[in-house]
């Protein structure tokens, strides 16, 4: 099953993706509300609203206002090696806020204060039920599904201090979508790629993760309560611009595309913010 949050004439709506169509779920404004209220099992019967051609759909951020967005740094073996770091014993965590989220095809607007923006294609875990100190099967069951994210990182701000938050929390810089895909939709060896104007920069396999999705749910839910609609960005594979020689950066006029097999793609045009 695949779900999306789409923009409509009256705002936004949760929708069931069925073939080449998006079918609205009346009364629910986003996927987060679906997870908090009716749950995934009720979606097929609840999708009784307008049917739209998928090619005409305008995707909003998958979850409009998650209670938390937890991100994981240095979690792909290839990326850890290119950044010349040791394999981590524990997940490296930081946060984002709802104001950072973008839709799957929205413009990625670079702020004038930033000189070194970078791409980071990521698998996103979407939480489907409350979880606190979840373990094993309970942690697995807390995962409603997966999405695609781009943890656009402002490297010049990120490395001003030893804490990364100020390089990660910029408004309107983190696309997540286009859909939530339930776990059965994801191939076991699903690949994740990031392209800049069609040039492949990242090409990895989600099973190169050091700390997998269920382990992350276990770890994070030990610290805090995870709620339906919360997002976990699980880290990026090798190939970021910061690690290249010479270093590469996102630039206005380019298009960055992040794709995960079984889920779909983000395609965001990079533009400069008007002063």
Q: Which CATH architecture does the domain made up of 2-56 adopt?
A: Roll (2.30)
Phi/psi of residue 9, nearest 5 degrees: -60, -30
pLDDT the model gives residue 182 = 98
Whether 275 has a pLDDT exceeding 80, the answer reads no
* Residues 111-131, mean pLDDT to the nearest whole number: 97
- Distance CA(275)–CA(273), nearest Å, equals 6
Nearest-angstrom CA–CA distance, 49 and 5: 13
Neighbours of 153 (CB within 10 A): 28
What local confidence, expressed as pLDDT, does residue 85 receive?
Answer: 80
Is residue 5 a contact partner of residue 14, using CB atoms and an 8 Å limit? yes
pLDDT of amino acid 211: 94
List C-alpha distances in Å: 254 to 49, 86, 197, 204.
36, 33, 6, 22
Label residue 77 by pLDDT band (50, 70, 90): confident
Please give the average per-residue pLDDT across 43-57, as a whole number.
97
pLDDT computed for residue 143 by the predictor: 98
Task: Decide: pTM greater than 0.85.
Answer: yes
**Pairing state of beta strands 108-110 and 264-272?**
parallel
pLDDT of residue 78: 77
Q: pLDDT-derived band of residue 221, with 50, 70 and 90 as boundaries?
A: very high
| pLDDT value at residue 171 | 96
Share of the chain above pLDDT 70, in %: 100
pLDDT at 116: 97
* Higher-confidence position of 80 and 96: 96
Name the CATH topology of 69-272: Fumarylacetoacetate hydrolase; domain 2 (3.90.850)
- Judged by average pLDDT, the poorest of 46-50, 88-92, 220-224, 259-263 is 88-92
Q: How far apart (Å, rounded) are the C-alpha atoms in residues 196 and 239?
A: 12
Q: What is the pLDDT of residues 159-207, one digit of tens each?
A: 999 999 999 999 999 999 999 999 999 998 899 999 999 999 999 999 8
pLDDT band at 79 (very low <50, low <70, confident <90, very high): confident
pLDDT for 42 beyond 90: yes
Compute the distance between CA of residue 34 and CA of residue 30 in angstroms, rounded to an integer: 7
Write down the domain spans for the chain: 2-56, 69-272
Q: What is the pLDDT of residues 82-119, one digit of tens each?
A: 887 888 889 999 999 999 999 999 999 999 999 999 99
Q: Which residues pair with 180 in a beta bridge?
A: 3
């Amino acid at each position: 099953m695949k779900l999306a949050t789409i923009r409509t004439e009256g705002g936004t709506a949760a929708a069931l993706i069925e073939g080449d169509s998006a079918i609205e779920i009346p009364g629910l404004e986003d996927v987060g509300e679906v997870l908090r209220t009716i749950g995934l099992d009720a979606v097929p019967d609840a999708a009784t609203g307008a049917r739209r051609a998928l090619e005409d759909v305008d995707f909003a951020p998958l979850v409009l206002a998650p209670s938390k967005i937890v991100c994981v740094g240095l979690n792909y073996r290839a990326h850890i090696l290119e950044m010349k770091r040791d394999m981590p014993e524990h997940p490296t965590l930081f946060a984002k806020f709802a104001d950072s989220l973008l839709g799957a095809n929205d413009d990625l607007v670079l702020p004038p204060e930033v000189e070194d923006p970078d791409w980071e294609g990521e698998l996103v875990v979407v939480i489907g039920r409350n979880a606190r100190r979840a373990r094993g099967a309970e942690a697995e069951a807390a995962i409603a599904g997966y999405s695609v994210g781009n943890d656009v990182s402002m490297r010049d701000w990120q490395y001003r201090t030893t804490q990364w938050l100020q390089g990660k929390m910029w408004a309107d810089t983190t696309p997540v979508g286009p859909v939530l895909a339930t776990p059965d939709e994801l191939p076991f060896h699903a690949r994740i790629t990031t392209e800049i104007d069609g040039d492949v920069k990242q090409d990895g396999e989600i099973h190169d993760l050091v700390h997998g999705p269920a382990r992350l749910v276990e770890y994070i839910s030990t610290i805090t309560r995870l709620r339906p609609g919360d997002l976990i960005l699980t880290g990026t594979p090798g190939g970021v611009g910061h690690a290249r020689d010479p270093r590469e950066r996102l630039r206005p006029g380019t298009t960055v595309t992040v794709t995960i097999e079984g889920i779909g793609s983000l395609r965001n045009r990079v533009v400069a913010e008007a002063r």
